[in-house]
Amino acid sequence: MSKQLNLLISGRNREALEQLQEICDLPGFAVEIKHISNGHADPLYGVLEYPDILLFHMGQADLEELQCLVDRPAEARPPIVVVGPSGDTRLMRAAMKAGARDFLEDPANKDELQDALLQFQREQRQAGGARGGKLTAVVSAKGGAGASFLSVNLAHIMASRSHLETALVDLDLQFGSLAQYLDLHPESGLMRALDMADNLDAVAADACMAKHASALSLLAPLEDEIVLSRDVSPERLSRILELLKHNYDRVVVDLPRQIDELSAMVYEHADQVLLVMQQELACLRDGVRLRQLLTCELGVPTERIMVVVNRYDKDLPVEIKDICQSLNVDRSDVMVVPNHYRSVAESINVGIPMSDYAKSSSVTKSIVALEAMLGGQTSQDESAGIFSRTLQMMRG
Ligand SMILES: Nc1ncnc2c1ncn2[C@@H]1O[C@H](COP(=O)(O)OP(=O)(O)OP(=O)(O)O)[C@@H](O)[C@H]1O
Ligand SMILES: [Mg+2]
């Protein structure tokens, strides 16, 4: 499974290391500093787990440190980027001998250093080959049931807690809200990706996506774009989804509930469909209809459909067993997310996902459990605990 790339910044000048750390604060990188301050010159001395990449800050007198790297066997030497004094060919040659893939002049230019790291990240992704990402389509049985809220928070937990490379796609072409839920202001978006679909590669697709601090990537229509579904070619959207599944561990798609060529194509790519319900008779009726359309008309296998009862309240007259009966689903295929208007509304208003805004809220915990049920990486113990608590709450 993919994880963040571990970047170790090492050197003797603490202030310089801290400045580099700020520059290296990029999505997809976990950055640590190792200050060389004692008798050991080896930048990797005492490091138990080798980083994916080493950024070595070199002073005029630091030849010994470089020599330590040269002396290491190749398998104990991670890829190295050196930031060092300009114009000293002796040091540059030593850096080359140590196998450095890049030498940047001190003080490092922010854009140059970030470019070097992002290039390394791209190479790692390409070397890793296809990710075979799972696509989860999320749809509300009835308007306002919570598909957008759950899509955002599920994808955010996949990215931030499970450290999975996650893409979130907003296919509510006219009333998309995911960028707002994440307080993102994309400059390029879904329409641009669709325009380029025939020649789109991982780098170009990445450029069309807005990046959240959690490393979650969002592909959404721009706020001022008016898009009608008839303007979107299903073949092009299919090409984009294939690319995202290839490049990401998880793809979450927030779908409007109407069935048309576009949504049919998304269901075809979906490994899992989350049908979001609420405990209302009207929602029950629409949920039954939507599930029937998905299974009978579009051929979505029943085992791919999971029901989420959002805004769950045990005192409401429509109970979980009624939902199971009407939809003909096993109780084990139904998850619940409790109703907590205030924290949810606040999280949406400020554009901070629940896992950051209200970490210990019951809503966050139930979405963590949902993510674990969908094959996430969150601790089994944690999710088992949450799951049993949720069941207790339902029974209570
Ligand atoms: N678990 C919850 N507890 C309390 N309020 C919630 C919860 N989930 C969602 N809401 C509220 O419901 C509103 C609608 O949610 P959301 O936008 O996700 O629905 P939707 O199904 O995507 O709607 P649409 O059909 O318009 O796309 C949110 O603005 C939020 O205030
Ligand atoms: Mg929505």
Specify the range with the lowest mean pLDDT, choosing from 314-318, 373-377, 378-382: 378-382
In angstroms, the Cα distances linking 33 to 84, 160, 260, 262, 374 are 17, 21, 52, 47, 35
Domain range 5-128, CATH architecture: 3-Layer(aba) Sandwich (3.40)
- Model confidence band, residue 284 (pLDDT cutoffs 50, 70, 90): very high
Residue burial 31-69, b: 16+ Cβ < 10 Å; e: rest: bebbebeeeebbbbeebeeebbbbbbbbeeebbebbebb
146 CA distance to ligand 1 centroid (A)? 4
Distance 278 CA to ligand 2 centre (A): 14
pLDDT in tens, 92-136: 888 888 888 999 999 999 999 998 998 888 777 666 655 668 999
Tell which CATH classification among 3.40.50.720, 3.30.43.10, 3.50.50.60, 3.40.50.300 matches the domain 134-395.
3.40.50.300
Confidence of residue 38 (pLDDT cuts 50, 70, 90): confident
Alpha-carbon Rg for the chain in angstroms: 24
The answer to whether 5-128 and 134-395 have equal CATH topology is yes
Highest mean pLDDT among 45-54, 110-119, 311-320, 371-380: 311-320
Distance in Å, CA 297 to ligand 1 centroid: 27
Looking at residue 316, what DSSP letter applies? S
- Out of 149, 255, 311, 342, mutate this one to test ligand 1's pocket (max ligand atoms within 8 Å of CB): namely 149
In this model, does residue 391 exceed pLDDT 50? Answer: no
Most confident listed range (119-128, 140-149, 385-394): 140-149
Burial of 257 (0-12, 13-18, 19+ CB in 10 A): buried
Q: What is the pLDDT of residue 228?
A: 86
* DSSP H/E element including 271: none
pLDDT-above-90 percentage for the chain:
64
* 338: phi then psi, degrees, rounded to nearest 5: -65, 165
Which chain residues have CB less than 5 Å from ligand 2, an ion? 148
Which of 139, 142, 148 to mutate for ligand 1's pocket (most ligand atoms within 8 Å of CB)?
Answer: 148
More confident residue, 229 or 339: 339
Query: pTM for this one?
Result: 0.70
Mean pLDDT score of the chain, rounded to an integer?
88
pLDDT for residue 377 is more than 70: no
Question: pLDDT digits over 57-101, tens only?
Answer: 998 888 888 888 888 887 778 999 999 998 888 888 888 888 889
For the chain, domain boundaries: 5-128, 134-395
Distance 147 CA to ligand 2 centre (A): 5
